[in-house]
Amino acid sequence: MAGPRVEVDGSIMEGGGQILRVSTALSCLLGLPLRVQKIRAGRSTPGLRPQHLSGLEMIRDLCDGQLEGAEIGSTEITFTPEKIKGGIHTADTKTAGSVCLLMQVSMPCVLFAASSSELHLKGGTNAEMAPQIDYTVMVFKPIAEKFGFKFNCDIKTRGYYPKGGGEVIVRVSPVKQLNPINLTDRGYVTKIYGRAFVAGVLPFKVAKDMAAAAVRCIRKEIRDLYVNIQSVQEPKDQAFGNGNGIIIIAETSTGCLFAGSSLGKRGVNADKVGIEAAEMLLANLRHGGTVDEYLQDQLIVFMALANGVSRIKTGPVTLHAQTAIHFAEQIAKAKFIVKKSEDEEDASKDTYIIECQGIGMTNPNL
């Protein structure tokens, strides 16, 4: 079934691992052979890092494909996909590389597999430069499931920077097709809740301090809502290494979800971590969109595959979202239109509608 190779320049736009994730997922789904060149060319450590490599190997295994040039530091790979199958698959970054990014690349593929899949993803669950696993479960999951699929995410062990060592088991059943989504009605904020955690040797007081500082910060702007942030000491047998962080979610009357999150680093006081997460959440609530800045790009591939027209309302369109759109158009031939929102209440804000005519991908196995 191999046609001409799709050629992808890995150095343009976002220029990082995301190009690799989007293009290999679409290549796998559409059965299109792929070559990606100049991988992460402009980064301080160019080429494939361990987490990118484990993501690629996982996609290869999902479809019994062929992968060439895939080693640490490599700036060019070729991938020839075969038929996507279900079953049990393991990907281990062997670092604090994010399990959430492994999930991003594999999730669209396993939806179109021949049978149910169980993905054992190992690495960092709460790691820098990636969504925290709590974000994936609390925000991404309920919104992504609007496309008409269900998945289960079982957090076995949490792992933090720099050691990783976390494990998440994701179970997914295949679908015949994805439904388009229409997320354009923001509603009003009905509740705010969250989770502040410490793991390993860090004192519980750190979790309480992060939560308290976050609540104080939110109170300044949103006075009439109870903010329920739980402080959690991760159980010793369910966390590897030391870490602390916080995630805060705002839910609206129409079921939209927004988040702000932050991870502790050595030498950064707990209040500052809490305030950073709160400020991120408030910024995401100001722009009038129905999704936060981190969900934008994660929905693009699903919109591209869905059967019909999807619309989401966003704040400023992120470089990650623009990159995902570019490759969804180039590889999957989906059609996207990004335009300024014309609603009166959005007139003074930086609010956009991302519209996509999906390709109506059908699962050949069902």
- State yes or no: cis peptide before 162, omega within 30 of 0: yes
Residue 22 CB contacts under 8 Å (≥ 6 apart), including other chains: 300, 301, 323, 324, 327, 328, 331
Count the residues in the chain.
Answer: 366
Digit-coded pLDDT (tens) for 239-272? 999 999 999 999 999 999 999 999 999 999 999 9
pLDDT over 90 percentage in the chain: 95
Over 90: is that where the pLDDT of 55 sits? yes
* Cα-Cα end-to-end distance for the chain: 19
How much helix, strand and coil, in percent to the nearest 5, is found in the chain?
35, 30, 35
- Known binding-site residues equal 104, 294-298
- Rounded distance between C-alpha atoms, residue 36 and residue 63, angstroms: 18
47 Rama sector, left if φ>0, alpha if ψ -120 to 50, beta otherwise:
left
- Known binding-site residues for ATP equal 104, 294-298
Q: Which residues are catalytic?
A: 320
- Rounded distance between C-alpha atoms, residue 217 and residue 277, angstroms: 10
Over 80: is that where the pLDDT of 292 sits? yes
Question: CB-side exposure of 257: number of CA atoms within 13 Å?
Answer: 20
Model confidence band, residue 4 (pLDDT cutoffs 50, 70, 90):
confident
Over 90: is that where the pLDDT of 1 sits? no
**Residue range 182-208: mean pLDDT, rounded:** 97
**Residue in 39, 42, 31 with CA at minimum distance from that of residue 64:** 31
pLDDT of residue 158: 98
pLDDT of residue 344: 85
The CA distances from residue 82 to 62, 63, 112, 231, in Å, are 9, 5, 12, 46
**Residue in 19, 22, 18, 23 with CA at minimum distance from that of residue 6:** 23
> Do residues 259 and 197 touch, judged by C-beta distance below 8 A?
no
How far, rounded to the nearest angstrom, does the alpha carbon of residue 26 sit from its chain's CA centroid? 16
Give the pairing type, strands 352-357 and 335-340.
Answer: antiparallel
pTM of the model: 0.97
Domains of the chain: 6-183+291-359 (3.65.10.20), 189-287 (3.30.360.20)
